[in-house]
């Protein structure tokens, strides 16, 4: 695993070159998980269906943070079902934060575009082809989902919901270098930094749906920390 993290894995290089040889854009989905054994098979199936029907070249990188509910076992089964070229399990030993999960996932991504989303089905993968179309239409550096425009809706959505985004890989790498937040405020900081660096941002209206199974990963104390992190971020930028 150490050689893969260093970016020198022959398998990783082969996957990367195969995608480039066809002259086709490749999309790497970073899917951090913690206690998502019920949701994971469904979100992966929906992602595969959406990408396959749209003829999109993709890979799904599952970053499980030592889930005690057996999420990793489910991810291993999905890797066998869909193939290790499409589903890549890259686990960590314990819960280390959302920001570091994306950093970890980026080390293994071979796509030239990165999509970050949650495994709890708060965003339906059917919107991803719209993100891709929007990016190509405006040649945007980033495309973000929004519930404030067009036909976007919200069902059970609240402050705890995270946001689906598409990034050029090199843009996400630069933003990660600039960001200091490691928790749930990480995504908000990235968009603030992106505006500071004058990256172009497109928006797609999407519907947000509350968790299908289980409870939100954010507890009361984490929500307070999230709010404090936002205040700190906007006070210092």
Quick one: pLDDT at residue 181? 72
Domains of the chain: which residue ranges? Answer: 27-236
pLDDT at 100 over 70: yes
Query: pLDDT (tens digit, 9 = 90+) per residue, 165-201?
Result: 899 999 999 998 888 776 667 777 888 899 999 999 9
**What mean pLDDT comes out for the span 65-82?**
94
Query: What's the CA gap between 78 and 60, in Å, rounded?
Result: 11
**What mean pLDDT comes out for the span 83-111?**
91
Calculate what percentage of the chain has a pLDDT beyond 90: 46
| Of 225 and 69, the one with more pLDDT | 69
Q: In the chain, what are the helix, strand and coil shares in percent, each to the nearest 5?
A: 45, 20, 35
Name the fold adopted by 27-236: Spore Coat Polysaccharide Biosynthesis Protein SpsA; Chain A (3.90.550)
For residue 113, give the H/E element and its range. strand 113-116
Query: What's the CA gap between 223 and 9, in Å, rounded?
Result: 39
Quick one: pLDDT at residue 113? 98
| Of 186 and 157, the one with more pLDDT | 186
pLDDT at 161 over 50: no
164 band by pLDDT with thresholds 50, 70 and 90: confident
222 band by pLDDT with thresholds 50, 70 and 90: very low
| Alpha helix stretches (DSSP H) within 38-168 | 39-54, 71-82, 98-106, 128-138
Query: pLDDT (tens digit, 9 = 90+) per residue, 23-34?
Result: 689 999 999 999
Query: What's the CA gap between 105 and 97, in Å, rounded?
Result: 12
């Amino acid at each position: 695993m150490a050689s893969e993290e260093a970016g020198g894995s022959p398998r990783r290089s082969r996957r990367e070159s195969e995608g480039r040889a066809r002259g086709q854009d490749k999309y790497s989905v970073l899917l951090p998980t913690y206690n998502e054994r019920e949701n994971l098979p469904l979100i992966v199936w929906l992602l595969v269906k959406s990408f396959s029907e749209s003829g999109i070249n993709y890979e799904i990188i599952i970053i499980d943070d030592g889930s005690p509910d057996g999420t990793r076992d489910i991810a291993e089964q999905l890797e066998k079902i869909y193939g290790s070229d499409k589903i890549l399990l890259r686990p960590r030993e314990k819960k280390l934060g959302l920001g570091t999960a994306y950093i970890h996932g980026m080390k293994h991504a071979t796509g030239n575009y990165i999509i970050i989303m949650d495994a709890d089905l708060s965003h339906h993968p059917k919107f991803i082809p719209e993100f891709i179309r929007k990016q190509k239409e405006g040649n945007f550096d980033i495309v973000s989902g929004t519930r404030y425009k067009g036909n976007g809706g919200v069902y059970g959505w609240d402050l705890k919901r995270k946001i689906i985004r598409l990034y050029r890989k090199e843009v996400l790498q630069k933003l990660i270098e600039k960001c200091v937040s490691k928790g749930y405020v990480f995504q908000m900081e990235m968009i603030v930094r992106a505006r500071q660096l004058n990256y172009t941002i497109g928006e797609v209206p999407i519907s947000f749906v509350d968790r299908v199974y289980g409870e939100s990963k954010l507890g009361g104390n984490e929500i307070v920390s999230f709010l404090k992190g936002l205040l700190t971020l906007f006070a210092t930028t």
